[in-house]
Amino acid sequence: MTAVIVGDRARLPSGLDLTGNRNAQAFSGRAWGTDGTGDYLSLGSPSDLDGFFNTGGTFTGWFNVATSSHYEKIFDFGTATTLSLQADMSGYIFTKDWSTTDGSWTYNGGGGASHGMWFHLVLSYNASSTGNDPALYINGVLQTIDGETTPVGSAVADTSNKFLGIYNDGSSNPYDGEMADIKFITSTVTAAQALEMYQNPEQVLPTGISSSALKCWLPLCDYDIAADTTVGGLYFQDASGNGNHALSTNGAMSFGHPVAPQLGLRSSSSRVLVNNVSGKQASATLQSAPGTTFTVACWFMEMANDDTNIIWRMGGTTATDDDFLELYLNSSGQLQVYGDGSVTAGSPAIGEWHHVVVVSDGSSPYCKVYVDNSEISTSGALGQAADISTATLIIGDQAPTLTAFPFDGVISEIAVWDSVLTSGNVSTLWNSGVQGADANAVDGGNLLNWYKCDNNVSLTNLSDNSTNVATYAAADQNMVTVPEGSTADLSSFGTLTTPRQGSGVFCIPPQRSVTGKLGGVLTSPQVAFGTQNWTMGCWVKSSGYTDSYQAIWQFRPGNDRGPRCYITSATAIQMDYGGATTTDTVSMTVSSLMGNWTFVVLQRLAAASFKGWARKISDSSWTSQAEAVDVGDMTDPDSGVCGWGYRADNDAYNLNGPLAFPRIWLHGSDTPWVEAELNAIFEQGKRFLVGDS
């Protein structure tokens, strides 16, 4: 599986209300901005964008042009394949590189767009024939071609570096304005699909377009770096999962755009297990051996059929023990149940969530398989009824004692019952959606083990009848955060149906989870702490401690002055702060820190008076520690990225969970918040977060 980076849903409150209902088409988003003096994005020359239009391709995005006077480039694919603006937004010119004569199509008129106005652009073209014309849609409306040079020869492959916002020399015709939500789709779209993209900007792809056609998706909202600092040298994530990230040269983040769809800020804390390499499986001991009557249910999404992909194995763990059952997808994408013989149960589509329930009642034909709430007519046969006498469950592989066939995709909610679920039970699970069901409420008395697969430290057993966790073979398990709510097709990992969190909760890319990294990083400009009093704090919820510190905040870009705060063990928070004179540290022990929302605060109360505070959401009082060291001027002279929940230089220090309501108050020489005021701030945050605790 290629590295998967998922853009998570991120509507601000103007886009969605607190219950997840959409408020018309209102978005308040970030965008990537240029100033017309040479800012641009470079995609390099990834092979899956070569010959982009040659067999049908669609480029789409949201744009807000500040000025245009001389063929400013929206894109340039390095040869003669470009999309340019005409002066004063008076039209568009698309050219395509052909071997003999380049094609060129001119559209006069802005299509209703003008300077300072966000508009949606779709350019769809198939260069497989000289007779084809490109279709340009502005805000869903097809534009008339006013001038044309018909191409001659064959379409050139366009294998050069691909630029956004500038000519292919990286200097000329720079775009001046903002852009957001850029997508490269290797398929043409119809007028209806172009209109759908405009009218439903929160939808990743229009109806009928396969997710595999999305080769690059740049939400362009990754940073919240103030516009007095460029985002030059930083990459913008490709949320399509194809690794086609865009490197910014200069450019800046732009904020407060009421139209541009925005991803990355508001997100879920719900996560699922990503598996794609050997040695990442989870193993558990079942509460009891299931014997011959049992049910196993799970959700999965396969990402690629490159080999046998084992979802789970139950029972025998050696080659000589044939009392086992496995659910897997073979390299042809067929879903199979394998024990003493194998049963084939259809070919679930790649890249979509599927719910599979395997039921054994000890009689011939030995098992039923439900896929997405339908009992599947199977082919093949198990030679005999499975009799699972070994109480083991392996999730995501059959290793370690057997040959590794790691599942290539994501897995959620594996539940095992020592009973035969009815079709009605299966419907209940299916209708509840991914992570939407309470398995204890479905024949709960016979539920053995149940794992949501949402923790990268170990998998908590949510069964009321058992506490056996599932342990990972590796310490650095990959997870991915998945959007919550009912909006379909929002990310390549679909959506979950768990309750949404209150607004303001931010999900950090899971710790160490390079494969499953997603969304934005909560960066911040430096703060001139100086020698004034201040209070800073936020809510955090770490799902587990691995082997590295987890950054809560880091405002010490030069590693000498400013405050930092880390989770340093499963029960410890450490804050250190440096100044021109010296550094000092606050350390606090907080029991049950993992898995519980905790409000963490550090204050400078006076020159030689600092105090750290921590309070879990269920606590009635604070844990605190005071220090009496004057560290001196705390403004760090170095420029650098500060932020919340992560350290810019290393994914290993990411917070292992969500973060909410980060704030810094600069009090000057005034008295900082006293305990009663901190209590009020605590209660304010608690109201939003209590539903998730």
Taking the C-alpha atoms of residue 405 and residue 490, their distance in angstroms, rounded to an integer, is: 29
| Contact yes or no for 576/583 (Cβ under 8 A) | yes
The H-or-E segment that residue 32 falls in is strand 29-35
Candidates 229, 292, 305, 532: give the one binding other proteins (CB under 8 A): 229
Rg (the chain; Cα; Å): 27
Place of tokens 């001389």: 70
> Is position 104 an interface residue for other proteins (rule: CB under 8 A)?
yes
CB of 170 to other proteins, least distance (A): 9
> Is position 232 an interface residue for other proteins (rule: CB under 8 A)?
yes
Q: Name the one range near other proteins by CB under 8 A: 224-232, 326-334, 408-416, 427-435.
A: 224-232
Count of residues engaged in binding other proteins, rule: CB under 8 A: 41
Taking the C-alpha atoms of residue 438 and residue 27, their distance in angstroms, rounded to an integer, is: 33
> Is position 218 an interface residue for other proteins (rule: CB under 8 A)?
no
> Is position 69 an interface residue for other proteins (rule: CB under 8 A)?
yes
Number of other residues whose CB lies within 10 A of the CB of residue 300: 29
- In the bound state with other proteins, the residue whose beta carbon lies nearer, of 381 and 527, is 527
Q: Which two tokens stand for residue 35?
A: 């100033």
Candidates 102, 202, 302, 326: give the one binding other proteins (CB under 8 A): 102
Q: Which among 638, 582, 647, 485 has a CA at the least distance from the CA of 17?
A: 485
Beta bridge partners of 598: 540, 616
Candidates 2, 25, 67, 596: give the one binding other proteins (CB under 8 A): 67
> Is position 108 an interface residue for other proteins (rule: CB under 8 A)?
no
Q: What share of the chain is helix, strand, coil (3-state, %, to 5)?
A: 10, 40, 55
Q: Which among 595, 626, 592 has a CA at the least distance from the CA of 609?
A: 626
> Is position 176 an interface residue for other proteins (rule: CB under 8 A)?
yes
> Is position 639 an interface residue for other proteins (rule: CB under 8 A)?
yes
Q: Name the one range near other proteins by CB under 8 A: 10-18, 78-86, 462-470, 573-581.
A: 78-86
> Is position 228 an interface residue for other proteins (rule: CB under 8 A)?
yes
- In the bound state with other proteins, the residue whose beta carbon lies nearer, of 76 and 454, is 76
Q: Which two tokens stand for residue 263?
A: 């991803």
Would you state the torsion angle of the CA atoms of residues 368, 374, 380, 381, taken in this order, to the nearest 10 degrees?
0
Candidates 209, 231, 590, 602: give the one binding other proteins (CB under 8 A): 231
* DSSP state at residue 9: B
Q: Name the one range near other proteins by CB under 8 A: 32-40, 235-243, 499-507, 540-548.
A: 32-40
CB of 226 to other proteins, least distance (A): 9
- In the bound state with other proteins, the residue whose beta carbon lies nearer, of 231 and 508, is 231
CB of 568 to other proteins, least distance (A): 26
CB of 173 to other proteins, least distance (A): 5
Pairing of strands 354-361, 341-344: unpaired
Q: Which among 245, 239, 234 has a CA at the least distance from the CA of 211?
A: 239
CB of 83 to other proteins, least distance (A): 9
Pairing of strands 324-329, 522-524: unpaired
> Is position 649 an interface residue for other proteins (rule: CB under 8 A)?
no
CB of 251 to other proteins, least distance (A): 9
CB of 300 to other proteins, least distance (A): 42
- In the bound state with other proteins, the residue whose beta carbon lies nearer, of 96 and 616, is 96
Q: Name the one range near other proteins by CB under 8 A: 33-41, 190-198, 441-449, 654-662.
A: 33-41
Number of other residues whose CB lies within 10 A of the CB of residue 37: 9
The DSSP code sequence of 573-634 is EEEEEE-SS-EEEEEEE-TT-TTS-EEEEEEEEETTEEEEEEEETT-SS-EEEEE-------
Taking the C-alpha atoms of residue 164 and residue 216, their distance in angstroms, rounded to an integer, is: 13
> Is position 601 an interface residue for other proteins (rule: CB under 8 A)?
no
| Contact yes or no for 232/165 (Cβ under 8 A) | no
Would you state the torsion angle of the CA atoms of residues 235, 240, 242, 244, taken in this order, to the nearest 10 degrees?
-30
> Is position 39 an interface residue for other proteins (rule: CB under 8 A)?
yes
> Is position 72 an interface residue for other proteins (rule: CB under 8 A)?
yes
> What is the SS3 assignment for 429?
helix
CB of 660 to other proteins, least distance (A): 28
Q: Name the one range near other proteins by CB under 8 A: 172-180, 236-244, 508-516, 621-629.
A: 172-180
Q: Name the one range near other proteins by CB under 8 A: 124-132, 176-184, 190-198, 679-687.
A: 176-184
- In the bound state with other proteins, the residue whose beta carbon lies nearer, of 120 and 257, is 257
Q: List Cα–Cα distances, 593 to 453, 481, 542, 573, 692, in angstroms.
A: 20, 21, 8, 9, 15
CB of 156 to other proteins, least distance (A): 12
> Is position 35 an interface residue for other proteins (rule: CB under 8 A)?
yes
Q: Which of residues 248-277 bind other proteins (CB under 8 A)?
A: 250, 252, 254
CB of 86 to other proteins, least distance (A): 8
Q: Which two tokens stand for residue 507?
A: 């999900």
Place of tokens 């969304």: 519
> Is position 167 an interface residue for other proteins (rule: CB under 8 A)?
yes
> Is position 633 an interface residue for other proteins (rule: CB under 8 A)?
no
> Is position 150 an interface residue for other proteins (rule: CB under 8 A)?
no
CB of 529 to other proteins, least distance (A): 18
State phi, psi for 621 to the nearest 5 degrees: -145, 175
**Residue ranges that bind other proteins, judged by CB under 8 A:** 33-39, 66-67, 69-72, 80, 82, 84, 93, 95, 102, 104, 167, 171-174, 176-178, 225, 227-233, 250, 252, 254, 638-639
